[in-house]
Amino acid sequence: MWTMEQHRFRDLGIRSQRAGSGQPVLFLHGAAGLPLWTPFFEAFSKQYDLRVPEHPGFGGSDAPAWIRSVPDMSMYYLDVLDQLDLHGVHLIGHSLGGWIAAELATRNCSRLASLTLIAPAGTRVKGVPSGDNFIWDPEESVRNLFHDQSFADRILSHAETDEEADLALNSRFMAARLGWEPRWVNPALKNWLHRIQVPTLVLWGENDKLFPKAYASTWQDNIPGSRVAFIPESGHLPQVEKPAVTASRILDFLEGK
Protein backbone atom coordinates (compact mmCIF):
# COMPACT_ATOMS: atom_id res chain seq x y z
CA MET A 1 0.00 0.00 0.00
CA TRP A 2 1.07 3.56 -0.53
CA THR A 3 1.46 6.32 2.02
CA MET A 4 1.18 10.07 1.65
CA GLU A 5 4.34 11.78 2.83
CA GLN A 6 4.70 15.45 3.59
CA HIS A 7 8.11 16.85 2.65
CA ARG A 8 9.87 20.14 2.83
CA PHE A 9 12.07 20.59 -0.22
CA ARG A 10 13.89 23.89 -0.08
CA ASP A 11 11.27 26.11 1.55
CA LEU A 12 8.20 24.46 -0.01
CA GLY A 13 5.77 22.01 1.53
CA ILE A 14 5.31 19.14 -0.95
CA ARG A 15 2.99 16.16 -0.74
CA SER A 16 4.27 12.90 -2.14
CA GLN A 17 2.77 9.45 -2.56
CA ARG A 18 5.16 6.58 -1.88
CA ALA A 19 5.08 2.79 -2.01
CA GLY A 20 7.41 -0.20 -2.22
CA SER A 21 11.11 -0.58 -1.74
CA GLY A 22 14.18 -1.04 -3.89
CA GLN A 23 15.79 1.15 -6.50
CA PRO A 24 14.13 4.58 -6.64
CA VAL A 25 11.50 5.42 -9.27
CA LEU A 26 10.37 9.03 -9.42
CA PHE A 27 7.13 9.70 -11.33
CA LEU A 28 6.42 13.31 -12.36
CA HIS A 29 2.74 13.89 -13.00
CA GLY A 30 1.05 15.85 -15.79
CA ALA A 31 -0.90 19.10 -15.84
CA ALA A 32 -3.99 17.64 -14.16
CA GLY A 33 -2.09 17.26 -10.89
CA LEU A 34 -1.41 14.41 -8.51
CA PRO A 35 -2.86 11.28 -10.12
CA LEU A 36 -5.09 8.76 -8.41
CA TRP A 37 -3.23 5.69 -7.22
CA THR A 38 -3.92 3.10 -9.93
CA PRO A 39 -2.82 -0.41 -10.93
CA PHE A 40 -0.16 1.27 -13.05
CA PHE A 41 1.59 2.49 -9.91
CA GLU A 42 1.05 -0.84 -8.11
CA ALA A 43 3.08 -2.53 -10.84
CA PHE A 44 6.12 -0.45 -9.88
CA SER A 45 5.77 -0.58 -6.12
CA LYS A 46 6.20 -4.38 -6.23
CA GLN A 47 9.87 -3.99 -7.20
CA TYR A 48 10.83 -0.38 -6.69
CA ASP A 49 10.73 2.47 -4.20
CA LEU A 50 8.17 4.58 -6.05
CA ARG A 51 7.65 8.24 -5.27
CA VAL A 52 4.95 10.38 -6.88
CA PRO A 53 5.36 13.95 -5.63
CA GLU A 54 2.92 16.75 -6.27
CA HIS A 55 4.63 19.57 -8.16
CA PRO A 56 4.92 22.97 -6.47
CA GLY A 57 1.78 25.01 -7.14
CA PHE A 58 -0.36 21.98 -7.94
CA GLY A 59 -3.27 20.85 -5.74
CA GLY A 60 -2.25 21.27 -2.11
CA SER A 61 1.48 21.93 -2.60
CA ASP A 62 2.96 25.38 -2.02
CA ALA A 63 3.01 27.74 -5.02
CA PRO A 64 6.20 29.77 -5.14
CA ALA A 65 6.49 32.96 -7.21
CA TRP A 66 10.02 31.97 -8.21
CA ILE A 67 8.94 28.99 -10.28
CA ARG A 68 7.80 30.68 -13.47
CA SER A 69 8.68 28.08 -16.07
CA VAL A 70 9.37 24.42 -16.68
CA PRO A 71 13.14 25.03 -16.68
CA ASP A 72 12.69 26.53 -13.17
CA MET A 73 10.68 23.46 -12.17
CA SER A 74 13.36 21.12 -13.47
CA MET A 75 16.00 22.95 -11.42
CA TYR A 76 13.74 22.56 -8.40
CA TYR A 77 13.57 18.81 -8.92
CA LEU A 78 17.37 18.65 -9.18
CA ASP A 79 17.37 20.26 -5.73
CA VAL A 80 14.87 17.62 -4.59
CA LEU A 81 17.08 14.79 -5.84
CA ASP A 82 20.06 16.34 -4.05
CA GLN A 83 18.12 16.80 -0.84
CA LEU A 84 16.90 13.19 -0.87
CA ASP A 85 20.39 12.13 -1.97
CA LEU A 86 18.94 9.59 -4.40
CA HIS A 87 21.13 7.64 -6.79
CA GLY A 88 20.28 5.43 -9.74
CA VAL A 89 16.85 7.02 -10.13
CA HIS A 90 14.49 5.77 -12.82
CA LEU A 91 12.78 9.00 -13.77
CA ILE A 92 9.35 8.75 -15.39
CA GLY A 93 7.36 11.77 -16.51
CA HIS A 94 3.96 12.07 -18.10
CA SER A 95 2.97 15.02 -20.32
CA LEU A 96 3.98 18.18 -18.41
CA GLY A 97 5.93 15.90 -16.05
CA GLY A 98 7.72 14.42 -19.05
CA TRP A 99 8.77 17.89 -20.10
CA ILE A 100 10.08 18.61 -16.58
CA ALA A 101 11.94 15.27 -16.57
CA ALA A 102 13.54 15.97 -19.94
CA GLU A 103 14.64 19.48 -18.93
CA LEU A 104 16.09 18.00 -15.75
CA ALA A 105 17.97 15.32 -17.66
CA THR A 106 19.47 17.82 -20.12
CA ARG A 107 20.88 19.70 -17.12
CA ASN A 108 22.18 16.86 -15.00
CA CYS A 109 21.84 13.09 -15.44
CA SER A 110 24.22 12.14 -12.65
CA ARG A 111 21.55 10.85 -10.29
CA LEU A 112 19.54 9.11 -13.02
CA ALA A 113 19.62 5.49 -14.17
CA SER A 114 17.01 5.94 -16.91
CA LEU A 115 14.42 8.28 -18.33
CA THR A 116 10.91 7.36 -19.44
CA LEU A 117 8.75 9.97 -21.12
CA ILE A 118 5.05 9.30 -21.61
CA ALA A 119 3.48 11.66 -24.17
CA PRO A 120 5.78 14.43 -23.00
CA ALA A 121 5.13 18.12 -23.57
CA GLY A 122 8.13 20.30 -24.36
CA THR A 123 8.71 19.83 -28.08
CA ARG A 124 6.57 20.20 -31.16
CA VAL A 125 6.53 19.46 -34.85
CA LYS A 126 5.93 22.52 -36.98
CA GLY A 127 2.66 22.21 -38.87
CA VAL A 128 1.25 19.64 -36.43
CA PRO A 129 -0.68 21.64 -33.84
CA SER A 130 -1.33 20.32 -30.35
CA GLY A 131 -4.86 20.28 -28.98
CA ASP A 132 -5.82 23.44 -27.08
CA ASN A 133 -6.79 22.19 -23.65
CA PHE A 134 -7.14 25.78 -22.41
CA ILE A 135 -9.98 26.54 -24.81
CA TRP A 136 -11.74 23.16 -24.61
CA ASP A 137 -14.82 23.17 -22.40
CA PRO A 138 -14.81 20.94 -19.31
CA GLU A 139 -16.40 18.00 -21.09
CA GLU A 140 -14.16 18.23 -24.16
CA SER A 141 -11.15 18.52 -21.87
CA VAL A 142 -11.93 15.10 -20.44
CA ARG A 143 -13.17 13.42 -23.63
CA ASN A 144 -10.19 14.53 -25.70
CA LEU A 145 -7.79 12.83 -23.32
CA PHE A 146 -9.18 9.36 -23.95
CA HIS A 147 -9.53 6.99 -26.84
CA ASP A 148 -11.97 4.78 -24.93
CA GLN A 149 -14.79 7.15 -23.98
CA SER A 150 -15.96 4.93 -21.13
CA PHE A 151 -13.07 6.40 -19.12
CA ALA A 152 -14.35 9.89 -19.87
CA ASP A 153 -17.92 8.86 -19.02
CA ARG A 154 -16.79 7.61 -15.64
CA ILE A 155 -14.86 10.81 -14.85
CA LEU A 156 -17.67 13.08 -16.05
CA SER A 157 -20.27 11.24 -13.99
CA HIS A 158 -18.29 11.96 -10.82
CA ALA A 159 -19.59 15.12 -9.14
CA GLU A 160 -16.60 17.13 -7.98
CA THR A 161 -16.64 18.33 -4.37
CA ASP A 162 -15.84 21.99 -3.68
CA GLU A 163 -12.49 20.97 -2.25
CA GLU A 164 -11.61 18.91 -5.32
CA ALA A 165 -12.65 21.80 -7.56
CA ASP A 166 -10.43 24.20 -5.62
CA LEU A 167 -7.41 21.90 -5.80
CA ALA A 168 -8.02 21.34 -9.52
CA LEU A 169 -8.13 25.09 -10.07
CA ASN A 170 -4.81 25.52 -8.26
CA SER A 171 -3.35 22.95 -10.64
CA ARG A 172 -4.90 24.65 -13.65
CA PHE A 173 -3.37 27.99 -12.67
CA MET A 174 0.08 26.45 -12.21
CA ALA A 175 -0.23 24.48 -15.45
CA ALA A 176 -1.05 27.71 -17.29
CA ARG A 177 1.91 29.45 -15.72
CA LEU A 178 4.20 26.71 -17.01
CA GLY A 179 2.59 25.84 -20.31
CA TRP A 180 0.51 28.69 -21.74
CA GLU A 181 3.17 30.46 -23.76
CA PRO A 182 4.73 29.16 -25.86
CA ARG A 183 2.03 26.52 -25.63
CA TRP A 184 3.44 23.40 -23.96
CA VAL A 185 6.83 23.83 -25.55
CA ASN A 186 10.32 25.14 -24.92
CA PRO A 187 11.58 25.84 -28.44
CA ALA A 188 15.19 25.59 -27.23
CA LEU A 189 14.80 22.20 -25.55
CA LYS A 190 15.39 20.09 -28.65
CA ASN A 191 18.81 21.73 -29.05
CA TRP A 192 19.91 20.23 -25.74
CA LEU A 193 18.30 16.80 -25.77
CA HIS A 194 21.60 15.27 -26.89
CA ARG A 195 22.85 15.89 -23.37
CA ILE A 196 20.55 13.15 -22.06
CA GLN A 197 23.05 10.37 -21.56
CA VAL A 198 20.90 7.73 -19.86
CA PRO A 199 18.78 5.03 -21.55
CA THR A 200 15.56 6.72 -22.63
CA LEU A 201 12.17 5.29 -23.54
CA VAL A 202 9.45 7.40 -25.13
CA LEU A 203 5.88 6.08 -24.99
CA TRP A 204 2.93 7.57 -26.82
CA GLY A 205 -0.75 6.71 -27.11
CA GLU A 206 -1.58 6.00 -30.74
CA ASN A 207 -4.68 8.20 -30.49
CA ASP A 208 -3.39 11.14 -28.47
CA LYS A 209 -5.53 14.21 -29.29
CA LEU A 210 -3.55 16.61 -27.09
CA PHE A 211 0.00 15.93 -28.28
CA PRO A 212 -0.11 14.09 -31.61
CA LYS A 213 2.05 11.00 -31.77
CA ALA A 214 4.06 12.64 -34.58
CA TYR A 215 5.82 14.54 -31.79
CA ALA A 216 7.55 11.31 -30.74
CA SER A 217 10.02 11.68 -33.61
CA THR A 218 11.59 14.88 -32.21
CA TRP A 219 12.48 12.99 -29.05
CA GLN A 220 13.78 9.94 -30.87
CA ASP A 221 15.81 12.03 -33.31
CA ASN A 222 17.46 14.13 -30.62
CA ILE A 223 18.06 11.82 -27.66
CA PRO A 224 20.95 9.47 -28.48
CA GLY A 225 19.91 5.81 -28.41
CA SER A 226 16.36 6.53 -27.33
CA ARG A 227 13.54 4.14 -28.14
CA VAL A 228 9.94 4.98 -29.01
CA ALA A 229 6.95 2.71 -28.52
CA PHE A 230 3.33 3.44 -29.27
CA ILE A 231 0.46 2.16 -27.16
CA PRO A 232 -2.47 1.11 -29.36
CA GLU A 233 -6.03 2.24 -28.59
CA SER A 234 -4.88 4.84 -26.14
CA GLY A 235 -5.23 8.60 -25.90
CA HIS A 236 -3.06 10.99 -23.91
CA LEU A 237 -3.07 8.85 -20.75
CA PRO A 238 -1.81 5.37 -21.67
CA GLN A 239 -0.99 4.67 -18.02
CA VAL A 240 -4.70 5.08 -17.27
CA GLU A 241 -6.25 3.59 -20.39
CA LYS A 242 -3.75 0.74 -20.83
CA PRO A 243 -2.11 0.39 -17.41
CA ALA A 244 -0.90 -3.19 -17.79
CA VAL A 245 0.74 -2.86 -21.18
CA THR A 246 2.18 0.58 -20.36
CA ALA A 247 3.62 -0.60 -17.05
CA SER A 248 5.09 -3.76 -18.56
CA ARG A 249 6.71 -1.78 -21.37
CA ILE A 250 8.40 0.44 -18.81
CA LEU A 251 9.30 -2.40 -16.41
CA ASP A 252 10.90 -4.36 -19.25
CA PHE A 253 12.86 -1.24 -20.16
CA LEU A 254 14.00 -0.68 -16.58
CA GLU A 255 15.15 -4.27 -16.38
CA GLY A 256 17.12 -3.86 -19.57
CA LYS A 257 14.96 -6.20 -21.65
Enumerate binding residues for other proteins (CB under 8 A): 68, 134-138, 162, 165-166, 169-170, 172-173, 175-177, 180-183
User: Residue 182: which of 250, 83, 99 has the closest Cα?
Assistant: 99
Residues in contact with 73: Cβ distance below 8 Å, sequence separation at least 6, in sequence order:
55, 56, 67, 100, 103, 178
| Residue 4 or 169 having the CB closest to other proteins | 169
| Residue 182 or 256 having the CB closest to other proteins | 182
No. of H helices and E strands in the chain? 9, 8
Give the shortest CB-54-to-other proteins separation in angstroms. Answer: 17
| Residue 138 or 256 having the CB closest to other proteins | 138
Give the shortest CB-249-to-other proteins separation in angstroms. Answer: 33
Helix (H, G, I), strand (E, B) or coil at 114: strand
Give the shortest CB-180-to-other proteins separation in angstroms. Answer: 4
| Residue 132 or 233 having the CB closest to other proteins | 132
Give the shortest CB-175-to-other proteins separation in angstroms. Answer: 7
| Residue 181 or 255 having the CB closest to other proteins | 181
* CA dihedral (98, 27, 180, 137) positive or negative: positive
Give the shortest CB-212-to-other proteins separation in angstroms. Answer: 19
Rounded Cα gap, residues 83 and 60, in angstroms: 21
139: left (phi over 0), alpha (psi -120 to 50) or beta: alpha
